[in-house]
Amino acid sequence: MRTRPMVDRPLGSPTVAPAAAVPPAEGLARIRDLLARGGVAVLSGAGLSTESGIPDYRGATGSLRRHTPMTYQEFVADETGRRRYWARSHVGWRTIARAQPNSGHRAVQALRASGRVGAVITQNVDGLHHAAGTTDAVELHGGLDRVICLDCGTLSPREELDQRLHAANGRLEAAGAQVNPDGDVELAPELVDAFQVVPCLACGGVLKPDVVFFGENVPRARVDHCYDLVDTANALLVLGSSLTVMSGLRFVRRAAKAGLPVAIVNHGPTRGDEHAAVRVDLPLGEALTTLAQDLGPGPGPTLPD
């Protein structure tokens, strides 16, 4: 049976009032104290990637204000819906593929390398944690850089599919269109209608990005692994997530139920504020860089016996 390391905190789990954003200096100082103890689990959301040019879902300029993401049910059941998804995603993928980690991703990796952060769970599908060097970050919702066949289960690189779609359709353009967190962009209806979807090379089946769509469940084994990471942490630090959906909120509730301190850095209130000891409203790149610099290199990661 796995056990959580001993943590210096009062016995019991006192009720915590919803965390209003505290002054930045005070909030960062409290988060710095949590990180100084090491072994903090990070849960990141779309807000961490906005400084890399990828919008979030629910912020002031969030993509849900202008587009409805594809659902799993529509993708599986509707050939027209799949064509629309792949046409728009084929164009949007170029922006996702070109995106670079920002200072927030790099600071998370510095904190991971120093042992301050013990695990990283991300709700993002853009692969930027991995690109920043946090190659063991758990991609809760999968990654847009992979494609899976719904018939035979074969995984293949997105770049390979991109080349095949380009060969079948030529170069599609959507001048001025803004990419969404799921890689989707607005595209003229006539371009969507003429778009040719390609099948799985292994069996001829239906291809889907290896991501969890709205209406689809995260694989149980992946959820359990993330629970384990939270259970063995000393605290949970949420970065750039409104925690609106249960997919991420469940880990905050798990931590709070166990009496673990929860800290949040996010623009605006979150659904998890009632469980948080502190919430700071600051640009993530600035806040995380400050924390990483203040804490320094640290003792390095703890290795298993």
| Enzyme catalytic residues | 141
- Cα 197 to Cα 90, 107, 143, 167: the distances in Å are 10, 39, 20, 11
Number of H helices, E strands in the chain: 10, 9
Taking the C-alpha atoms of residue 211 and residue 122, their distance in angstroms, rounded to an integer, is 12
- Cα 44 to Cα 85, 172, 235: the distances in Å are 25, 32, 14
Rounded (10°) CA dihedral 108, 113, 119, 120: 30
CA angle 222, 232, 242 (to 5 degrees): 60
The three-class DSSP label of residue 254 is helix
**Which stretches within 155-235 are classed as H helix?**
158-169, 189-194, 220-231
Residue 193, both tokens: 């209608």
Taking the C-alpha atoms of residue 134 and residue 105, their distance in angstroms, rounded to an integer, is 9
Single out the residue of 202, 124, 197 nearest to residue 165, CA to CA. 197
Beta-strand (E) ranges in the chain? 40-44, 117-122, 138-139, 142-149, 155-157, 207-211, 235-239, 262-265, 278-280
CB atoms within 10 A of CB 17: 9
Q: For the sheet containing 262-265, what is the strand order?
A: 138-139, 117-122, 40-44, 235-239, 262-265, 278-280
